[in-house]
Amino acid sequence: MVMKGKKGLIIGVANNKSIAYGIAKACKEQGAELAFTFLNEQLEKRVRPIAEEFGSSFVYELDVQNPAHIEALPGMIEKDFGKIDFFVHAVAFAPREALDGAFMNTTKEAFEIAMNVSVFSLIELTKALVPVMSENGSILTLSYLGGVKYIPHYNVMGVAKAALEMSVRYLAVDLGAQGIRVNAISAGPIKTLAASGIGDFRFILKWNEANSPLRKNVTIEEVGNSAMYLLSDLSSGVSGEVHYVDAGYNIMGMCAVDEEDGKATMVWDKYSSQN
């Protein structure tokens, strides 16, 4: 098994439909030993059964906006695991009101929250956890196409993902001499708890399915398998990359069209008329 003997921390799993769950599942199936974090008491009730499902009793409270949690985490990890070989950063948040309307109306408070939770947390956690990581370890975070192109209803999160992707590149250089790799996966839209805050998400799913080369949306299992590759020694020569797992949607330069009665009709228009 590819991940046999590897130990890793999954940060940000919310439920069994989240991308982080798909990553954990793929790593566990390939032999990895896992630990998990939970944000608060409400999410602890969801995360502990997931940890048990994957044969883990190592579950830690982690609110990335709480410095005490970050400071305490490495010590708990080292006590339970010794050294870890990888960690997954699946943390992002912006106030709901900052995900709609004109981007220029984003408040300073919303901007700072989005950047602190979604971007700086990766930097801060990397600094905290590297001392308890093995050489040739791997760090993985989650991005989205909205970090490089305009996506409706994404707004400040798009700016945060852009900063996150650049942070991956700078961190990759910082840690390269230690053999630690840093990468990101840019997943296509998936029905997750985080996605529920994005307006017109049902339409975005249909649009992606209609216009991606593979004519489908990806699953958490497909993202999980790609993540497992980036976390494993199979990708020992890969660092600083943003790997797209979106059925090829990111390569498209224009939307698909259908001809009806000799008239070109955008797929977007067809789906809009059906909703």
Looking from the CA of 245 toward its CB, the CA atoms found within 13 Å total: 23
Q: Please, what's the largest Cα pairwise distance for the chain?
A: 69
Could you write out the DSSP letters of every residue in 159-182?
A: HHHHHHHHHHHHHHHHHHTTT-EE
CA–CA distance, 147 with 53 (Å, rounded to integer): 33
Q: Which of 21, 60, 144, 271 is catalytic?
A: 144
Strand pairing class (59-61; 84-89): unpaired
Token pair of 130 as six digits: 């590297």
Q: Is 150 a catalytic residue?
A: no
Token pair of 94 as six digits: 């912006």
Could you write out the DSSP letters of every residue in 217-239?
A: ---HHHHHHHHHHHHSGGGTT--
User: Whats the size of the chain, residue-wise?
Assistant: 275
Strand pairing class (84-89; 133-143): parallel
Dihedral, CA atoms, 234, 237, 241, 243, nearest 10 degrees?
-30
Q: Is 144 a catalytic residue?
A: yes
Q: Which of 60, 150, 154, 244 is catalytic?
A: 154
Dihedral, CA atoms, 186, 191, 193, 197, nearest 10 degrees?
80
Q: How many CB atoms lie within 10 A of CB 71?
A: 11
Catalytic residues: 144, 154
